[in-house]
Amino acid sequence: MPSFSGDLSEWLKEHAWKVCIPLKGIEGSNPSVSASLSLFAMKHAVLKIHPKDNVIVALRDLKKGEIISCDGEDFELIEDIPAKHKFYAHDFNSHAEIIMYGVLVGKVTQDVKRGGRMTTQNLHHAAEPYAYRGVQYHWTPPDVEKWRTRTFMGYHRSDGRVGTANYWLFIPTVFCENRNLDVIREAMQNELGYGVTDKYVSFTRDLVDEYKGKGTRDEGRGNAVDGSQLTVNSQPSTVNRQQTTQNPQRSTHNRLFKNVDGIKFLNHQGGCGGTRQDSEILQNLLAAYADHPNVGGVTILSLGCQHLQSNDFVAAIKKRNPSFDKPLYLFEQQGGMTEEELIKHAISSTFSGLTEINQQQRQPATLDKLTVGVKCGGSDGFSGISANPAVGYFSDLLVALNGKILLAEFPELCGAEQELIDRAINQSTAEKFIHLMNAYSAQAEQVGSGFHANPSPGNIRDGLITDAIKSAGACKKGGSAPVVDVLDYTEPATKPGLSLVCTPGNDVEATTGKAASGATLILFTTGLGTPTGNPVCPTIKLSTNTKLAEKMPDIIDIDCGSIVEGSTTIQEMGDQILEYCIKAASGEIIPKSVQLNQDDFIPWKRGVSL
């Protein structure tokens, strides 16, 4: 819902969003009800998102027989409508087009009745065709005067980019080195103060001690001891849950290197086997991570005989950034060292590199140095009306400040293509987007699938019935700014403004791709709860509803549920998001995914992944 103040009727003239109040319990309710009453009743309301829409969204559980007034019409519900789901605003015959967010989102597969619930049984995916139309798009940026002098404290790199963190990165050129990375991780993370598993180690140790104690006591009686008899700290702790919610920082007290934010490891399953093209794609991805502004130094482990040759990999880094000057150490296992020698040499050299990058300190940087990827995952029926539009307003703010926004997940732009094409700054940009979308869609259809298959069971269960519905809400994260560039997978973002990045919708493949294109922060909205992060890019989680934020406080950073409840506007939440990003980029607040070392990394082989 957009910013709301003053007379409601005037507000509705300016904005497409329609606030609809249940008749029961509110005397004299109608679309011109007073502003204060509307805002108070919002959490009991339904919502018509766009004037062209012929479905209405339930903001709370609605009961069969309930009468709802919306946009000057009364609707009697013929079945229960759970919150986040939609009901039909008219009787429709089979094959009728259904409009939501002002665009085609599906066609009914059977006759449906006014007041009936939209389901996968009566609606299937449909989207409008798209083409370049030469539209002259005019954008009015938001007022950012209060933000122009703001800065964040970042790590300045020699090429002019600014990182929001300072990580050391271990990269294997092939999956054969994953075990060696695991050994190094176990050896270094806890000793240098980056581990997060102490509480689980202690918990397990208590279980072991109790098990041994019971075994000793029962030894003479020959009684078996199983896990069900152990009771040490077996119940969830409310105190710990409160601490997780209230403590936004991970202590640096135990860190040996105070200016190094972490040691990260890019375990993967590639580098050999498969096709040479697979290895080339992986090489470009790993080179992008080595060159990332949040990375201060790199250790590469290579076996020696794999497709992804270490010399080619180093050359790919230099090609991407000819001025690359970070400390980089390369070790090849088949070069004559035993495994123990390899690991010790890698640890010793990395330790030396850590002392070097620890000399770097955060310095002020203007907000145009931020590159923020916007992502949604575990989406629900509130995603497109709360968290995603709030992130979209934040995106417009950052673009107005000459920062960069990266919107990806091409399967989740299905149905929103025409709007994005019309916003492209020129024909070549629009046609690159059309080409990538067409090629991706054709590849999916060739194997018997398609973008229509993107919504997960969880998405559908919480109201996202078709991919076009999901996409129309997902694209709101990109705001309304012009599209200045379209990037294929791993291409770097170089232009200020909104860029579209070709990635799958898969959560981790998408975040992996956004970081490769240069995102230094990621905003990740979720309605169901998704514990996803990235090794080099701090990932900030935003809940679409307050119930989720209360249920999973250990992964949610920002609760956007107050938008649905009517106590916060989209603009106000967008301001809060920008404020949070400034603090996160400065290291003043540590996002939950970073606190938990949620370092998810999945390369995309350019196969079919939705």
What are the per-10-residue average pLDDT scores of the chain (610 residues)? 38 42 35 32 71 93 93 92 94 96 94 96 93 95 97 98 98 96 94 88 90 65 48 47 50 85 96 89 97 98 95 96 96 93 96 97 98 95 94 98 97 92 97 95 86 84 89 94 97 98 94 98 96 97 96 97 92 97 98 96 86
107 domain residue, yes or no:
yes
Alpha-carbon span 248 to 589, nearest angstrom: 6
**What integer pLDDT is reported at residue 103 of this predicted model?**
93
The pLDDT of residue 43: 47
Last residue of a domain, one of 332, 359, 386: 359
pLDDT at 251: 58
CA–CA dist 337, 446 (Å, integer): 47
pTM for the structure as a whole: 0.88
Asked, for residue 227, whether it belongs to a domain, the answer is no
- Given this model, what pLDDT does residue 291 score? 98
- Exposure of 187 in the CB half-sphere (CA atoms within 13 A): 14
Residues 585 and 508 in one domain: yes
- Interatomic CA distance for residues 167 and 535, integer angstroms: 9
Of 336, 359, 382, the last residue of a domain is 359
| CB-based contact 383:473 (threshold 8 Å) | yes
Q: What angle do CA 30, 34, 40 make, to 5 degrees?
A: 95
pLDDT at res. 557:
98
pLDDT of residue 276: 87
Whether residues 314 and 428 fall in one domain: no
Same-domain check for residues 385 and 341? no
Q: Domain tally for the chain?
A: 3
Are residue 390 and residue 495 in the same domain, yes or no?
Answer: yes
Residue 230 lies in a domain: no
- Which are the contacts of 481, defined by CB distance < 8 A and separation ≥ 6? 139, 141, 395, 396, 399, 400, 405, 423, 497, 498
The answer to the question of residue 352 being in a domain is yes
* One domain, residues 451 and 591: yes
In a domain, 153, yes or no: no
Q: What is the pLDDT of residue 607?
A: 76
Same domain? 431 vs 490? yes
- CA pair distance 379, 104, nearest whole angstrom: 20
In the listed set 306, 330, 359, which residue is the last one of a domain according to the structure?
359
Are 377 and 344 contained in the same domain? no
Cα 390–Cα 394–Cα 400 angle in degrees, nearest 5? 145
Here the CATH number for the domain that contains residue 75 is 2.30.130.110
Identify whether residues 325 and 183 lie together within a single domain: yes
Beta bridge partners of 172: 301
Domain containing residue 20: 8-125
Specify the residue for token string 């519900």.
Answer: 77
Q: Are residues 423 and 347 in the same domain?
A: no
Same structural domain for residues 435 and 353? no
CATH number at residue 271: 3.40.50
Query: Does residue 464 share a domain with residue 341?
Result: no
610 falls within a domain: no
In a domain, 15, yes or no: yes
Same domain, 325 and 474: no
Give me the pLDDT at residue 240, please: 52
